Amino acid sequence: MNEPRGPVDSSRIPRFAGPATFARLPRLDEVARADVAVVGVPFDAGVSYRPGARFGPTAVREASRLLRPYNPGLDVSPFATQQVADAGDIAVNPFNIDEAIETIEDAASSLQADGTRLVTIGGDHTIALPLLRSVAKKHGPVAVLHFDAHLDTWDTYFGAEYTHGTPFRRAVEEGILDTEALSHVGTRGPLYGKQDLTDDEKLGFGIVTSADVYRRGADEVADQLRQRIGDRPLYISIDIDCLDPAHAPGTGTPEAGGLTSRELLEILRGLAGSRLVGADVVEVAPAYDHAEITSVAASHVAYDLISLLALKEDS
């Protein structure tokens, strides 16, 4: 196997110069193949409140310029043990959600055809459904860890079945999730009614609220999640609004009382050794951001997801 091609050397070319690929990694067309591809989906036609997540992939790539090759939190050099490349963006129709979902599924399936695993940067949470469809084609029904302020298991908005608040209900209905291993993490805030929780439980989800994380701590929560997942193929979907607005103001539907960026990263690190098959980080809306706080957090989250994939590659 050829030595993986890593990021641009920041001691030779300043971080603020050159193309803004994720973590300054090579493009997918510059390597023979990739073990992990970072791909953007600049789509936000499924939002119910503030738009702007279509600009998320660009903002996260820009913020990722400061990432470095060694991750001490997980004791791994994720770009040295696996070939990671930036696959650019999946261009989708911003005016037709059904067509966009089909395009995302087809493009994700094509990227994964040779065994490449995807870390996807959104975009709104609608994109999780086609990404899950694509992963399930290869692995069958998958376990899901869904980090979010919201449940995203509602039925419809204004009669629409495909929105950023409905992807996980649709995924359960389609039989592409392992309903014995589904968890929300970081949920909080008002709901439409108590029936929302009842309906969510019927779909198979367990809930770890942001208050649970605060009271029990990241290590205990990660241990609980690992036990629920077992050795199932795992997909991690992270809505950046799982973080408190103090840590992620640049998002479409912020809710007070969320996780800190430190808590989120520590929970992810506690999942080392899990059978991770894909992940996404969504709902970064840079127009509402301040000093790139949200984009920086999202870039580090994506970096830790890539690091988890490197650990599994080593095991």
pLDDT over 80 (residue 305): yes
**pLDDT value for 313:** 53
pTM to 2 decimals?
0.97
Q: Give the pLDDT mean for 138-157.
A: 97
Cβ-contact 273, 113 below 8 angstroms: no
List, for residues 231-285, the tens digit of each pLDDT value: 999 999 999 999 999 999 999 999 999 999 999 999 999 999 999 999 999 999 9
**pLDDT value for 291:** 97
Spatial CA neighbour of 234 closest among 298, 144, 295: 144
Cβ-contact 27, 7 below 8 angstroms: no
Average pLDDT value over all residues in the chain = 97
d(CA 225, CA 215): 16
Write the CA distances from 133 to 75, 103, 108, 170, 207, integer angstroms.
32, 12, 9, 10, 23
| Pick from 8-12, 204-208, 216-220, 266-270: least confident | 8-12
pLDDT over 50 (residue 314): no
Cβ neighbour number for residue 31 with a 10 Å cutoff: 17
